[in-house]
Amino acid sequence: MTDIGTATPDVDESQLSMGIDPYERGWMILSIALLVGFLATVTIAGFFMGFQVNGADAEVDPRTVLDSEPWSNPGLRKISDGKYEAWVVAQTWAFVPRELEVPVGSEVTINVTSPDLQHGLKITDTNVNVMVVPGQVSTITYTFDEVGEFPYICHEYCGTGHVAMWGVVNVVPAGQADDEEAGQ
Amino acid sequence: MTVVEEPVGGSDPTRVDRNFDTGYELSQDEKRFIGQHMIVAIAALTIGSLMGPLQSFQFGGLDLYPYLEPIIQSYYQGLTLHGVLNALVWTTFFITGFTTLTTVKGLRRPLAYPKLNKFGFWLMVVGLVTTAVPILTDSASVLYTFYPPLKASWAFYAGLTLVVVGSWIEGYGFFLTLAAWRKENRGVRSPFISLGPIINAAMWQIATLGVAVSILTMLLPWSLGLIDNTDPELARTYFWFTGHPLVYFWLLPAYTSWYGMLPKQVGGKLFSDSMARLAFWMFLIVSVPVGFHHQFVDPGVPETWKYIHAILTYSVFFPSMITAFTVIASLEYGARRNGGTGLVGWIRKLPWTDPSVAAQLLAAILFMFGGIGGLTNASYNLNLVIHNTAWVPGHFHLTVATAVTLSFMGITYWLVPHIMGKQLFSPTTALVQAWTWFVGMIIFSNAMHVLGLLGAPRRSPLGDAAYAPEEWNGHLLRVSIGGAILLVSVLLYVYVMVRTAISKKVEPALVPEVPIAESIRHPQLTPVWLDRFKPWLIAAALLLVIAYGPQFVDQIFNMNLNSPGPDFVPWK
């Protein structure tokens, strides 16, 4: 029969040990080294090279947030040359505004909130990726270094129209951006 | 290395028999009770898995949902069924039934309080029915994460609560049985096969506190109209307190089989009893305080806490690395005893024609890729690339839907015939089932991972997505093809199970026994601290307070109950 340990052998107490095989010991050391290496990589990238996630930013009341500035007038604001702020409302089932146009090389601080359900915002081919949660403002800064159209897509289930909820960041060559519109 | 071949004495020598069983025969009552768990589990898996291919076909442009009305109203009602039935019901019922078996079989004694376990089981059934009614009537299409302020019918939350409480009560039954066994067997190491799933049950009690508090203090009163608003960010923190250890709750019974059963099935032994225990205790400690890695891009959680949970998430990868070594070494030991040679040539000497073995080996192979993908998800800023994209369901179809589900299927290939006293119907069909699951999931999951990297969001009927560029089309089609193969596989599985259940032909020699592997080194040589709950429970509690305490205090004391949600039902 299989003895799975429910019988007690005469055990010399000095024999009690983990009984780790030398190969297993080597494997464990390798595993720890690998994980420490990964951790070092994400730490350096996150805290020294700017590949950082969003944190705890402003809180708002989702019932009244759209009644006052800046959320009553979402869109792009030019702060200075090459610097913008975007205020984006994610609501069932559209982003307001649906399009953001910036000149290439612009540093854009994007703020998003939702007055109704949870949403998500990811700008394709960038590191901009945030959850949008009622009561909270998600803020992330990104520099658009390439000309092109970058769709931003809702990535959290928010009901029937979830798949129709998206917009586009239009990064245009320097000098072509409609600064007047952006400055509104 | 000391190898103790023969036991010296035993708790009850009259129970010793000569086959590979532990010598404890399940009573008819125990077999029936375990069988009841399996019936619910397999029924849930069947219905839930029939929904999955519908989603995959939608991706490729074949939308069958209009033909399913009035039973299924929408993609999201189907997706809710798929997630709740497969991820929550199939797993929880299988696991509690399986743990009943490993507890009594390993400890060689009946449950201490069988009525307590039965009460827990029937409470889970009542909870399941209570949850199923609103889902089937389309009043709870909130997916299995039920993030507020998506508001389901109160019955959805009440039913889920009963399922969780029922699983707690079954857990108490297991703890009390182990305690009774320890009183009867002082100084004896508890067998790994029983200890492992009971450690899992203990971890589950801690982990489910998150959703329990969320439902009882916020979602249930809100759905009943007692309060008007929710705090969605706090609800997310509560949910993921439970949500990540949930995946280890699914995984550890599969690990129990890989460590403690599969080696027996391949003619080997458990390579290291102490490392198996160490891995399980580490899961008890580090499974729970990792939830913020699901909230890496949440507003309302400071970067510091996200980073601390990233470190802890890496540390929970370590016991899985131990598992990879010990399980493969145990398999290799068996294959070499069967004449296997060479650095990797021994793999051919594993009994690949045994469907239970093949299913679990294939599950473990795909789990390696799932684990590597999981490290990406855990990697703090790297997660920005794939968070909430199609990559994520691609990932968890390798883990829960293959490592766990295909292993559980493999287990049922001996478990169901064993408790019914029959032989498995058509092992060849079962073998084809395992391979079709493997192949279908490779195609499906690879396509989903690629779509995620290209920016496709999860939880979206991508066949309707206006933003989908042409380069996605080939991958969307591969999702459908994978889904079609998986549909064939699940139908084969149900066919084998049903034919096994209704077959009248019994050849006693072909009725499988419960495979329980002995350890190469006698478990009595394992240090006592690897057999005691107390130090590990204290460590788990301390780590929870450190890793979750401050942020919980902050979010609870600054609770903003201000989110009523929309004034219409968003999925209708």
B390 touches chain A (CB under 8 A): no
Nearest to B231 among A127, A135, A151 (CB): A135
Task: Kindly state the average pLDDT of the residues A60-87.
Answer: 95
Task: Name the minimum distance, in Å, from the CA of B187 to any CA of chain A.
Answer: 8
Across chain B, which has 572 residues, the per-10-residue mean pLDDT values are 38 35 85 98 96 95 90 93 96 98 96 98 98 96 96 97 97 98 93 97 97 97 97 97 96 97 95 95 95 95 95 93 95 94 94 97 97 93 96 97 98 97 96 98 98 96 95 97 98 98 90 93 91 96 96 94 95 92
Q: Which long-range contacts (CB under 8 A, 24 or more apart) does B31-35 make?
A: B31/B419, B31/B420, B32/B419, B33/B97, B33/B100, B33/B114, B33/B117, B33/B118, B33/B121, B34/B97, B34/B98, B34/B100, B34/B101, B34/B415, B34/B419, B35/B97, B35/B416, B35/B419, B35/B420
Chain-chain contact of B465 with A163 (C-beta, under 8 angstroms) = yes
Q: What is the mean pLDDT of chain A?
A: 90
Looking at beta carbons, which residues of chain A come within 8 Å of B516?
2, 4
| Amino acid identity, position A54 | N
Q: Determine the Cα angle at B198 with ends B192 and B204, to 5°.
A: 140
Looking at beta carbons, which residues of chain A come within 8 Å of B460?
155, 162-163
Residue B459 falls in the annotated catalytic set: yes
Looking at beta carbons, which residues of chain A come within 8 Å of B572?
160
Return the pLDDT at B6.
38
The Cα–Cα gap between B282 and B196 comes to 11
Chain-chain contact of B307 with A2 (C-beta, under 8 angstroms) = no
Looking at beta carbons, which residues of chain A come within 8 Å of B106?
4, 6
Chain-chain contact of A16 with B296 (C-beta, under 8 angstroms) = no
Nearest to A6 among B2, B191, B306 (CB): B191
Residue B458 falls in the annotated catalytic set: yes
Helix (H) or strand (E) holding B265: helix B262-265
Which tens digit of pLDDT belongs to each residue from A110-139?
Answer: 999 999 999 999 999 999 999 999 999 999
CATH class belonging to A57-181: mainly beta
Choosing from B108, B189, B294, B397, which is the catalytic residue? B397
pTM for this model (two decimals) = 0.94
Residue of B nearest to A139 (CA): B299
Which ipTM value was assigned to this complex? 0.91
Return the pLDDT at A176.
73
Return the pLDDT at A14.
67
HEC assignment per residue over chain A: CCCCCCCCCCCCHHHCCCCCCHHHHHHHHHHHHHHHHHHHHHHHHHHCCCCCCCCCCCECCCCCHHHCCCCCCCEEEEEECCEEEEEEEEECCEEECCEEEEECCEEEEEEEECCCCCEEEEECCCCCEEEECCCECEEEEEEECCCEEEEEECCCCCCHHHHHCEEEEEEECCCCCCHHHHHC
Q: Tell which B residues from 195 to 254 touch A, by Cβ distance under 8 Å.
A: 231-233, 236
B278 touches chain A (CB under 8 A): yes
Choosing from B336, B337, B387, B458, which is the catalytic residue? B458
Residue B15 falls in the annotated catalytic set: no
Nearest to B299 among A17, A56, A127 (CB): A56
- CA B542 from centroid of its chain's CA atoms: 26
Task: Name the minimum distance, in Å, from the CA of A131 to any CA of chain B.
Answer: 5
Which tens digit of pLDDT belongs to each residue from A140-155?
Answer: 999 999 999 999 999 9
Residue B395 falls in the annotated catalytic set: yes
Nearest to B299 among A57, A127, A166 (CB): A57
Q: Tell which B residues from 418 to 457 touch A, by Cβ distance under 8 Å.
A: 454-455, 457
Return the pLDDT at B451.
97
Testing the interface with B: which of A53, A111, A123 to mutate, by most B Cβ within 10 A?
A53
Q: Which two tokens stand for residue B520?
A: 């190469």
Looking at beta carbons, which residues of chain A come within 8 Å of B329?
21, 23-24
Contact B26, B34 (CB under 8 A): yes
Contact B192, A2 (CB under 8 A): no
Return the pLDDT at B8.
35
In DSSP notation, B445-465 reads HHHHHHHHHTTPBSSS-GGG-
Q: Domains in chain B, start-ordered, CATH in brackets? A: 28-557 (1.20.210.10)
Nearest to A8 among B8, B147, B457 (CB): B8
Return the pLDDT at A10.
58
pLDDT band with cut points at 50, 70 and 90 for residue A5: low
Q: Is the dihedral of CA A151, A152, A155, A160 positive or negative?
A: negative
Q: Which two tokens stand for residue A41?
A: 């990589």
Looking at beta carbons, which residues of chain A come within 8 Å of B150?
117-118, 157-159
Provide the residue ranges of all domains of chain A, joining segments of one domain with +.
Answer: 13-47, 57-181
